[in-house]
Each structure stands twice: as C-alpha cells, then as structure tokens.
Amino acid sequence: MKPSLVVSAVQQPCNEDRQTNLDFSIAQIHEAAAQNADLVVLPELHLGPYFCQNEDYNHFDLAQAIPGPTTAILAETARQANVVVVSTIFEKRAPGLYHNTAVVFDKDGSIAGKYRKMHIPDDPGFYEKYYFTPGDLGFTPIATSIGKLGVLVCWDQWYPEAARLMALAGAELLIYPTAIGWDAEDTDEEQQRQLEAWVTVQRGHAVANGLPVIACNRIGFEKAPDSDKGIHFWGNSFIAGPQGEILSHANATDNTLLTCTLDTARTGRVRQIWPFLRDRRIDAYGDLTQRFID
C-alpha cells in the first residue's frame, strides 16, 4: 500500500429512479478523483431504494449478473477516473440464487474481485433472508493496485470475527458499504443509542485490528412498499484511523463526499505499539466455532 492513500466515501440518497442514483454515484466518483482520491466507496445497494423492507418476489427483477450492465458502466467510470471503486449490487447468480455482492473495480477498469455478504439479517423492515443467499467466498481481502481491501457489507459490521478474519488474511483497510437507519416508532433516545452502537462497534474493529475503517451509509426516508412505515437512513458515514480515531464524519441528512488522507505507514507503527495479533491465544479459541457454549 502507498505511504499515503486518499480515500472517499459517498453518502447519498437512493431514490426510485435507478439511473438518477447511478448518475449521482458516477458524478461523485469523478468529484473524488478531482480531489486525488485513490479509492471511492459507495453505499450498499446504491442503485435504488432498499427493497428488503418487505417480501415481494417482483423485486427479484432488480437483480443482475456480475459482470453485467452496471458493472460495465462502473468499470469504465473507474478507468476514466483512475480510481478504485467499491460498489454493491443485487447479484443474480442463477435462477433462484441471489446475493448481496460488493464488487471492487481497479483503476484500469478491471474487476479486482467481489465479496458476497456473509451475515444476512431477517428483522422487521430488513427481510434480507428472503432475497439473499449467504456468501460463499469467505472473508478474503481483494487485492488491488492500492493494496488489499477487506470489504464487508452492512450487517457484517457487527461481527468482530469478520473483521478479524479479514485482518488475519492480510487486509490493509476495512470497508463497510451500508444501508442502516431508524424506525420512526423508536424514541429519540433509542435512536441515538443505536447510532452510537453502530459507530462504536466499527471503531472497535479499527482498534482491535490496527486498521483504518471506512463506513459508508445512505441517507433519507424510504417508505415501505406495503405500508406508511419506512426507514430513515441515518447517514453518519465516517472514516476512522487504526486507533479508532475519527478522521472524517458526515451528518445524518446531507449528501456528502467524505475525503481524507490515510497515513498507511502509521498503521504499521500502531500495530507495533499494540501487537494484538502477536498476543492472540489461538490455542484457546477453538470454541469460537460453536454456536453457544452450553
């Protein structure tokens, strides 16, 4: 990885019109490139509204192959802008087999790799198990021209095991494209607790693994297709350093292009000061493969 790396996260709304959303993402990629970005991260499933608020087989029509029409457009955008781009796409792998898949495009427009979301939620308003098969590519960093990227997706961000396995496999940066928000029926106090938990757990992954973290969320209220309820996506995208320090942070409402420079040499120094990988008791962790220790 370069001694310094300019990274960007695109915080955007995801409206009904897919072309408008894609055009906005592309414009932000070029804007990031104008700021000398090496890497641009887009929110989870940024092509349209978060369709997992209900279970409707018609939504499967939104899925597409990888490679496919959207990857072709984003690949060309990455090539023109000379940046690495991280996008997530509703992947149609085969009839009846779909994934929530992050695709990484290198600066030359090639697909450097992909990651299929491993942890799939199933909660009110987040009915992802209906749509997505759990990933089968493992927690494997994606090698690019700027380094090895530990790309995970949304619900994965709550699991320290996922971040740790990416770090153990050589990831130099943890990246979390996200679509997460509030239920309007929750109190203001509960909403704040949820937001703080989301930020805190990801800062914890940075600390525990000595790696920078990019968390990229969408914004805006998206009504549920079958009711007056919906999700208010809370934004608050951020970039943190290897000690969990916040380097750049967006608010809850605004279109924002976060851009900052990472001192990648400092990551190595932090790991020397706090050698967590050295002191892991790998001989004593066997029970982590158990669902619960009864």
Phi, psi of 31 (to 5 degrees): -65, -40
The yes-or-no answer on residue 117 being catalytic is: yes
Q: Which of 14, 44, 107, 128 is catalytic?
A: 44
The yes-or-no answer on residue 44 being catalytic is: yes
Q: Which of 14, 117, 172, 260 is catalytic?
A: 117
Separation between Cα atoms, residue 229 and residue 241, nearest integer Å = 36
Separation between Cα atoms, residue 221 and residue 14, nearest integer Å = 9
The DSSP annotation for 24-85 comes to HHHHHHHHHHHTT-SEEE--TTTTS--GGGS--GGGGGG-B-SSSHHHHHHHHHHHHHT-EE
Residue 143, number of CB atoms within 10 A of its CB:
14
Burial class (CB within 10 angstroms; exposed 0-12, middle 13-18, buried 19+) of 188: exposed
In which order are the strands placed within the sheet that holds 97-105?
111-116, 97-105, 84-94, 39-41, 4-11, 256-263
Phi, psi of 234 (to 5 degrees): -95, 10
The yes-or-no answer on residue 260 being catalytic is: no
Q: Which of 52, 114, 128, 154 is catalytic?
A: 154
- The residues assigned a catalytic role are 44, 117, 154
